[in-house]
Structure 1
């Protein structure tokens, strides 16, 4: 039984330590996963797993290894932020795979990317015809960024000489899970009584609202727990 409790304690400690490390390394490391981020994540994951479950290994030795690899990952991140040449070597650099509508087969071979993979990435961006692509670039995080040819670009207001008179703002979440988001109300000087009156006009109470937000166009949007959808779509 003592063995089980030791595993529980070590697992909890490993989780807390990894949360601290993740906070130190920052969101960009988690999101981008460049070369050194990938190596660090795999290594730290292996060490953390041993820290949690391998009771035969010395706890302090595992902690020393974890701190060392975390320090190395942090130093590499700092170096890549301060030096562009070193950043290219540590993190890699974006690579063009389609230029002027032509596939660069040599770059594809260097990156070990197949046409099937490229087509999948394009389809995820709603591009089913490769003829639409002017440039395609493989980014550091493994995703493909695409610039369409002018003929296939969507029309925007500027193209039609339409000037938007509505000033857009960042959406403000007001209610979530039937509870006020007090910080957002205070920071944006939104009167709770006014909002309550808007809710009453809908014949609802706060506890009946799953989600309420002030949209970017300064309009109130409410989503209720009771959706009143007769036949909801349930696609497995």
Structure 2
């Protein structure tokens, strides 16, 4: 083999006309994947469940191979598409008829925030760090946990939020990144502080601190009580 052999690197032993066949194969693969998403009724990746994502990846693998391998015929890929579509229909039907099967396959929504306090064990079971979760909250216009009445982690990884009425917003933990909020093991002044792990608020005296009564975490941040300004 000769290094930097441009003939081999660019097209090897295939004729130049094969490039037009690649165009046709790519169009075929695109239409197959697009048709699946259209028939299944899904409009975006954020709406895909774990099962649906596996189906799409499987279909994408088959569609990817057919685009540029000259020895991969088109009809078997079409059969892969039909088989996956039947599996999808059967599985979704079974999930509707057998809720336990659906919960096992996709998981269940989990309440992560309730009345301004974060359920850390539920968050850990979802394999999501507090920093990642707080990033989701910031993107939805949340400044601190006290603004949130209920926060639910959906099965597709999205976060659904129900906010406190304006007159019931309570002091809570800021969701800003750690470098942008002061954190203490011993607080500098008396006041209301929030646990930086679960968000539980506690009145502390100057020099006070210690473990949170809810999660045993030992770092505190001054609780804030600003109102939420919804995006216009």
2:40 is matched with 25
2:82 counterpart residue number = 67
Cα pair 2:148 2:161 within 8 Å, conserved: yes
The aligned runs of 1:78-227 (5 Å cut-off) are 78-151=93-166
- For 1:109 and 1:14, the matched residues in 2 are separated by 38
Post-superposition CA distance 1:142-191 (Å, at most 9, x none): 1111122344679xxxxxxxxxxxxxxxxxxxxxxxxxxxxxxxxxxxxx
- Given that 1:32 and 1:140 are in contact with CA atoms closer than 8 Å, whether structure 2 keeps it comes out as no
Q: What residue in structure 2 maps to residue 39 of structure 1?
A: 54
The match for 2:17 is 2
**Structure 2: tracts of 5 or more residues without a match:** 1-15, 170-232
Question: How many pairs align?
Answer: 154
Q: Deviation per CA, 1:64-95, whole angstroms, max 9, x where unpaired?
A: 33322232123222322343222222222211
Rounded Cα–Cα distance in structure 1 between residues aligned with 2:89 and 2:51: 10
Question: Does the residue aligned with 2:70 lie in a helix, a strand or coil?
Answer: coil
CA distance in 1 between partners of 2:72 and 2:117 (Å): 55
- Structure 1 residue 57: Cα displacement: 2.5
Name the residue aligned to 1:11.
26
Shift of 1:30: 5.4
Mapped contact 2:32–2:78 kept (Cα < 8 A): no
- The residue number in structure 1 matching 2:91 is 76
Q: Which structure is richer in relative contact order (CA contacts within 8 A, separation 6 or more)?
A: 2
Say whether the 8 Å CA contact 2:37–2:43 is kept in structure 1.
no
1:179-222 deviation per Cα after TM superposition (whole angstroms, max 9, x unaligned): xxxxxxxxxxxxxxxxxxxxxxxxxxxxxxxxxxxxxxxxxxxx
Distance 2:160 2:34 in 1: 31
User: How far did 1:138 drift?
Assistant: 0.3
In the superposition, relative to structure 1, how do residues 53 and 89 fare at CA in structure 2: closer, same or farther (>3 Å)?
A: same
What's the RMSD between the two structures over aligned residues?
Answer: 2.3
State how far apart, in whole Å, the 2-side matches of 1:4 and 1:90 are.
42
Indicate conservation of the 8 Å contact 1:137/1:146, yes or no: yes
TM-score by length of 1: 0.58
CA distance in 2, matches of 1:153, 1:3: 67
